[in-house]
Chain A
Amino acid sequence: MTTVTKSTDFKVEVTDKVPDYNAAQRIGRRLWAPMWLMAIMAFPIALIIGAARANEIANGGSEATVSSLLHVQAGIMFIGFAAVLAAISFAIARILGAFRKGGGEIQESLGADVVTLRMPPTARVFMMGMMIAMVTLIVASIVHFAWAASVSTGSVTLVESELAFVVLEAVRRLGVALYLVAITFGLATITRVLRFQAIRVRELAQLT
């Protein structure tokens, strides 16, 4: 016997009117562009600093300057990565918003109950993972700038600076991995929404 899955087998909310975007979707719609622009500005700046550092090395510049530029370049580059991965996450939230609003408007225009999927656990993991990853990358970048300043003023040794770089690099990499996993969960949420809508639209046809 074939089991029929109904839209109400999902965790849903039923309303008369189209529900508004949720907070994450509103933020996603507003912030994807500023984040994207911030990333696009950060990357060339990091590349220029990398070239300046290469020039210092080639010309036998001071080791403190070379070490300081390494921290500055990594800090700016990973602010760029935090921003571009945020732009991707916000764009995914924006897609989820398009499904929520568009699906609701179609149901409302038919005069049917507006059945909307509640936020699935994958979406919660997506948001939490994204926030932890973003904070990790930004904090690591700020600490890079602090070390760059300390190396320039001579308050720390070059060896200490190098060790700090190794630790911060590990933290940054973990932050990026976490961000990518969060994005996977965001995309997994889209798959669930598509399945829900495929079921709901057939129900609407039976109702009319």
Chain B
Amino acid sequence: MTYAADARLRPSADADYQAPSVWRSRGIVIALLGLAIAVIAFFGNLVAAGQSGVDQASTLAWTFGVTTTGFALVKTAIAVVLWGIILKLWLRADSIKASLPALVGTPGADSDPNGDVDTPHGKAVVSDRAPGQLPIHKMAKRMFRPMLAMGLMAVIVGLIISFVLAADASSTAASAWMQGLQFLGEAMLLIGISFLLGTILWAIRTAGGDVQEDLGVKVYTPKMPAPAKGFVVLMMLGLMLGIVQFIGYLVVAGGGADAASNLAWLAPLREISVALILSGIALALVAIGNVLGFQFWRIQSLIEAGERS
């Protein structure tokens, strides 16, 4: 089944499967730009080490904002490359769909009945038709763009505040706003990347089902692997902590609490939120590796069972 909104998640009809990905090149350029910005901030920090008092606080304020912006650019680059991967996945699936009838010949009869089966690559579901999408796929496809956009906006606003703070380094409120906003932005960018990985898992699942259905054989679909479940839990937990740290910084900015002691625990909390989302991203990549292994196994079994003239 093709969903109207999914057309925006596939390459155009005239896309050339042989052409290099422009998104890959763009992603690499953006990543190198982000690294260059982080290097500028690095030297700024080294200068700050030789300063003291207000001068040091002022330099540290803008270097914080600039470094985080450099990170945000590299994360954007990762998102751009992942987008290129999604498009190339579809083009590869089209190539497999076009080639498989010749490679398989007359497909062999599948012995497994419909329902759950064990395969060398874990549990799978056998069905006559390609399965529909999972709720997490729907959410991932809808949300990756807004999350990336909101994340970038939060980081840029934080960068502007860092320049304001550099001009008046004594402002606790500006410092709290800058840290809270920029780390919320970083968390949102990583959630956007997580949703893109969820979209990749959707594309692999959907394309795999389409290819099998098109060939007229039973459709084998892997069940959601444990790493994919862990990915969803860690992503949500990380986002929640990202919001909690932002609220914590707002409280400090409002002057309603002991700033020094609160900033002491908010710093590791904001890093934990990013760390948990990164842990989830690692699991998503592992799940992608598992699903790809399953699909290669399925194609190979079809070729071995088929009768080519």
Q: Tell yes or no: B98 within 8 A of A by CB.
A: yes
Interface size class for chain B?
Answer: 35 or more
Does A23 sit at the interface, judged by CB under 8 A? Answer: no
A190 to B86, CA, bound (A): 11
Sample of 16 A–B contacts (CB below 8 Å): A36-B279, A47-B268, A49-B268, A50-B268, A50-B269, A58-B258, A81-B278, A102-B292, A166-B60, A177-B39, A177-B70, A185-B31, A195-B21, A197-B92, A198-B18, A201-B92
B46 A170 Cβ-Cβ under 8 A: yes
Residues of B within 8 A of A130 (CB): none
Q: Which residues of A contact B272 (CB under 8 A)?
A: 43-44, 46-47
In the complex, identify which listed stretch (B108-116, B165-173, B282-290) lies at the interface while the others stay far away. B282-290
Whether the Cβ atoms of B88 and A208 lie closer than 8 Å is no
Shortest beta-carbon distance, A57 to chain B, in Å? 4
Out of A46, A58, A166, which one reaches B48, CB within 8 Å? Answer: A166
Is the interface on chain A under 10, 10 to 19, 20 to 34, or 35 or more residues?
A: 35 or more
A interface residue numbers (CB < 8 A to B): 4-5, 32, 36, 39-40, 43-44, 46-47, 49-51, 53-55, 57-58, 66, 73, 77, 80-81, 84-85, 87-88, 91-92, 94-95, 97-99, 101-103, 105-106, 109-110, 122, 163, 166-167, 169-171, 173-174, 176-178, 180-181, 183-185, 187-188, 190-192, 194-195, 197-199, 201-202, 204-206, 208
Q: Which residues of B contact A (CB under 8 A)?
A: 17-21, 23-24, 27-28, 31-32, 34-35, 38-39, 41-42, 45-46, 48-49, 56, 60, 63, 67, 70-71, 74-75, 77-78, 81-82, 84-85, 88-89, 91-92, 94-96, 98-100, 102-103, 258, 260-262, 264-265, 267-269, 271-272, 275-276, 278-279, 281-283, 285-286, 288-289, 292-293, 295-297, 299-300, 303-304, 308
Contact B262 A36 (CB under 8 A): no
Q: Do residues B275 and A80 form an inter-chain contact, with CB atoms below 8 A?
A: yes
- Minimum distance in angstroms from A203 CB to a CB of chain B: 9
Indicate if the CB atoms of B303 and A191 lie closer than 8 Å: no
CA distance A160 to B257 in the complex (A): 29
Which listed residue, A105, A166, A208, touches B300 by the CB 8 Å rule? A105
Chain B residues within an 8 Å CB radius of A178: 35
Asked whether, in the complex, the Cβ of B279 is within 8 Å of the Cβ of A198, the reply is no
Residue in chain B with minimal CB distance to A92:
B285
Q: How far is the CA of A169 from the CA of B92 in the complex (A)?
A: 43
- For A197, the chain B residues whose CB sits under 8 A away are 92, 95
Q: Which residues of A contact B78 (CB under 8 A)?
A: 180, 183-184, 187
> Nearest chain A CB to B241's CB is how many angstroms away?
10
B296-A36 in contact (CB<8A)? no
Across the interface, A194 reaches (CB within 8 A) one of B74, B85, B296, B297, namely B85
Q: Once the chains bind, are B103 and A191 in contact (CB under 8 Å)?
A: no
B284 to chain A, nearest CB (A): 8
Q: B262 contacts which chain A residues (CB < 8 A)?
A: 54
Which residue of chain B lies nearest to A66 when distances are taken between CB atoms in the complex?
B264
Of the candidates B19, B49, B92, B102, the one whose C-beta lies within 8 Å of that of A208 is B102
Instruction: Tell me whether A191 and B77 are in contact (CB under 8 A).
Output: no
